[in-house]
Amino acid sequence: MNPLTSPLLTDLYQLTMLQGYIDQEMHDISVFEFSVRSMPENRNFFIAAGLESVLEFLEQCHFSQEELEYLVGTGRFSQKLLDYLERFDFSGSVHAMAEGTIFFPHEPIIRITAPLPEAQLIESRVINLLHYQSLIASKAARCVIASDGRADLIDFGLRRTHGAEAGLFAARSTYLAGFIGTSTVLAEALYGIPIFGTMAHSFIEAQKDEKEAFINFAYSNPENVTLLIDTYDTVTGAQKVIETANLLKKKNIPVRGVRLDSGDIAALSKEVRAILDNGGLKDVGIFVSGNMDEYTIEELFAQEAPIGGFGVGTRLDTSADSPYLDSAYKLMEYAGKPRLKKSEGKATLPGRKQVFRRYDDTIMVQDILTIEGVEYEGLPLIREYMMDGKRVSKTLSVHEIRDYTLEQMKTLPANLRKLQKTAPYPVHIAESVMSMKEDIEKKLGTNG
């Protein structure tokens, strides 16, 4: 049972609810939408990500013999349900915003239309896939804004991501948002994302001395010489880089950069820059890592730190200032009738929705959240990706998605590009949605 693909990576209540649906033969078409309920304190927009992995999940979501045997063994489920699960094959449709699309609270980024038990069973994993990837793409986009083209950004976070899949998704989501690559090797092997790396302190410590470590590393990796200079003392380390570079020049091995990973990065980067410049190494870039995020990037550039690249890790890949989104996957329609919940603070807007985005020249100025079929001026953001369980859209490469995201980012109004909270972007909830909501509420009466 592989957790990455097993349909048992779900909440028990999905199966107990299915038992009810199957007993009552509730196989009519249901519509669920995934959206985020509210904007966290430290965000002004989100970037949609995770659609590709949702489509993959739906295509291969089946119960293996081993999984069925486990379910039988629990004694919890009826034969009728077990028979249903044995035949399970997702037959529904997926409508979604393209990966890389900017979105806001209440706007669905995915809509699943399928017989109720199918759309219900997949809930937990669909949220799990969309939530994390959108969380990280959104955080990474803020780093890209803070850097504003002044430095290369590289995902360095694998080790402190929450597990293997988070490590891999972090590499992909940050690349989509405009990072130039990651340190995670598997992200190149699986997705073709460019990978980068320097050396660790252990490499320096294990050698006779720091300079010998630099030289040995360069001999073994002549194309990729970025030297970590803070193991013992950053300034002394920078001086040794000059000596190393002079030695390597005779062998035609260029030193490409130095890495700083501790201390007062703003002050040290300036000091190191001066040492390198005086030593004739004007082309050697300064790369920094250690507790980086959009705030430190902005602050370092405000202090005019001469930094050409950032390794951004833990705070990015855990979205540390906002480690989750208040996201939900909610029933919008069943058997042709719109549905809603009224729960305090968690009420839903019913119906199948579309989002139209309006622009002033090239800048986005307003979104309209409407019932599908009610047309507005503007660009419709939601389109079909899967029909009757089969993909109806071309699978994009991660590079194509990245290009699209970068185009999206250009449409962002200036105030939303601030790292600090600003006035929310206007998302108008159309009359069609509100009147549908009121209609149902009236029918439900005060008693629900």
Helix 12-23 and helix 79-86, axial crossing angle in degrees, nearest 10 = 110
Q: Please state the φ and ψ torsions of residue 150, each to the nearest 5 degrees.
A: -80, -20
Cα–Cα–Cα angle for 186, 187, 192, rounded to 5 degrees: 115
162 binds its own copies (CB under 8 A): yes
Closest approach, Cβ 414 to its own copies, in A, equals: 30
Per the listing, tokens 């990706």 go with 385
Identify the residue among 27, 180, 236, 352 touching its own copies (CB under 8 A): 236
16 binds its own copies (CB under 8 A): yes
Candidates 274-282, 344-352, 355-363, 402-410: pick the segment binding its own copies (CB under 8 A).
344-352
Residues 131-160 that bind its own copies (CB under 8 A): 131-132, 135, 156, 158-160
C-alpha Rg value of the chain to the nearest Å:
26
Contacts of 189 (CB under 8 A, 6+ apart): none
246 binds its own copies (CB under 8 A): no
Candidates 8-16, 85-93, 100-108, 422-430: pick the segment binding its own copies (CB under 8 A).
8-16
Q: Identify the DSSP state of 150.
A: S
63 binds its own copies (CB under 8 A): no
User: Rounded CA gap, 235 and 232, in Å?
Assistant: 9
Question: Binders of its own copies: how many residues, by CB under 8 A?
Answer: 116
Contact pattern for its own copies over residues 373 through 392, marking x by CB under 8 A:
--------------------
185 binds its own copies (CB under 8 A): yes
Residues 164-183 that bind its own copies (CB under 8 A): 164-169, 183
Identify the residue among 79, 202, 252, 420 touching its own copies (CB under 8 A): 202
Q: Give the torsion sign (CA, 266, 279, 153, 361).
A: positive
Contacts of 177 (CB under 8 A, 6+ apart): 47, 100, 136, 137, 138, 140, 141, 143, 144, 402, 405
315 binds its own copies (CB under 8 A): yes
25 binds its own copies (CB under 8 A): no
127 binds its own copies (CB under 8 A): yes
Candidates 98-106, 118-126, 371-379, 385-393: pick the segment binding its own copies (CB under 8 A).
118-126
Q: Where are the alpha helices (DSSP H) in 201-257?
A: 201-206, 210-220, 234-249
